[in-house]
Amino acid sequence: MAAQQPSSASTHHSGDRWPPLESSPEVFNQFMWSLGVPQGEAEFHDVYGLDPEALAMVPQPALAVLFCFPDPPEDPSNPQEQVLAKEEKTTSDEVYFIKQIDSLGNACGTIALLHAVGNACSEISLLENSCLDLFFKSTASMDPYERARVLDKDDDMETAHSLAASAGDTELRDIVEEHYICFMVLNGTLYELDGMKGGPIKHGSSSPESLLQDAVHIIKAIMHKIPNSMNFNVMVLSRKPK
């Protein structure tokens, strides 16, 4: 299953400056297009199930997969964090990654969008001097923390985020705390990009044609850790057919 909860939200820290985003293609498409991705270039699509038949209905190849889910309980025995230091060194130069610092509040939806578009720039032609174009150019040589600080001070990005947050059908007071992460493929490797983690996480080999199916294996593992929740949503960023 997937997308049983059509509207969901963001992450750990509350705050008026970065309110949570509803997890719907309509919200994310308008948000992305307002930032500088031309409407004829790419769009988000819902994934209505995790079985092969439902996945086959999603326009592919995928540029990125966004997953929205409730935060699982902290597991001190989880060895994943110990791996991240190595992964960050080996991927920081090739993967565009932004750290989610405390002052960014519920900005994980925006960070997931930036991870998706920022790592698909070879496939998406941004509008020149648009918000995204200027942001990626100005932060290209920065580390993940520096990029986070630039994002936190970007008034145009913050305004666009707030407008997108108010555009959903779900009342902000009704949204439960959830978190966005992004999956993408670069140079034949599947990466998980989570701003709350120490860096990009490698998940083995993949391709644009198999990205969605490969990401679903990781998504199912995350869902398995949160058995009492139905608040999951999966979206795919795909190129629009020419």
pLDDT of residue 94: 87
The two three-digit tokens of residue 225, written as one number = 């850790």
Task: Tell me, yes or no, whether 13 lies in a domain.
Answer: no
Residue 173 has pLDDT above 50, yes or no: no
Share of the chain above pLDDT 70, in %: 80
**19 has pLDDT over 70:** yes
In sign, the C-alpha dihedral spanning 49, 14, 140, 241 is positive
Residue 6 included in any domain: no
Question: What's the mean pLDDT in 139-150?
Answer: 97
Query: Which of 108, 115, 131, 161 is the catalytic position?
Result: 108
Please answer whether residues 84 and 199 qualify as being in contact, where contact means their C-beta atoms are separated by less than 8 angstroms.
Answer: yes
Confidence at residue 105, expressed as pLDDT on a 0 to 100 scale: 87
For residue 173, tell me if it sits in a domain: yes
* Domain range enclosing 134: 25-239
- Catalytic residue flag (residue 121): no
Indicate whether 236 pLDDT > 70.
yes
pLDDT value for 231: 85
Structure tokens at 34: 């307002």
Residues composing the chain:
242
**Other residues' Cβ atoms within 10 Å of the Cβ of residue 219:** 22
Annotated catalytic residue 131? no
CATH code where residue 79 lies: 3.40.532.10
Is residue 128 in a domain?
A: yes
Position 4 in a domain: no
Return the percentage of the chain with pLDDT > 90, whole number: 69
Q: Residue 96 is encoded by which pair of tokens?
A: 């565009």
Q: What is the pLDDT of the chain when averaged over all its residues?
A: 85
Please report whether residue 80 resides in a domain.
yes
Q: Confidence band (pLDDT; 50, 70, 90) for 21?
A: very high
Predicted pLDDT at 139: 97
Q: Using CA atoms, how far apart are residues 86 and 49, in angstroms rounded to an integer?
A: 34
Q: Work out the number of other CB atoms within 10 angstroms of the CB of residue 207.
A: 13
Give me the pLDDT at residue 75, please. Answer: 52
Q: What is the pTM of this model?
A: 0.86
Q: Which one-letter amino acid corresponds to residue 75?
A: D
Indicate the helix (H) or strand (E) that contains 56.
helix 52-56
Strands 189-193 vs 201-205: parallel, antiparallel or unpaired: antiparallel
Evaluate whether residue 174 is within a structural domain.
yes
Tell me the pLDDT band of 89, cut-offs 50, 70 and 90.
Answer: very low
- Residue 202, domain member (yes or no): yes
Q: Evaluate if residue 159 carries a pLDDT over 90.
A: yes
Q: From the candidates 131, 161, 179, 182, give the one annotated as an active-site residue.
A: 179
| Lowest-confidence region among 61-75, 160-174, 204-218 | 160-174
Our count of domains for the chain comes to: 1
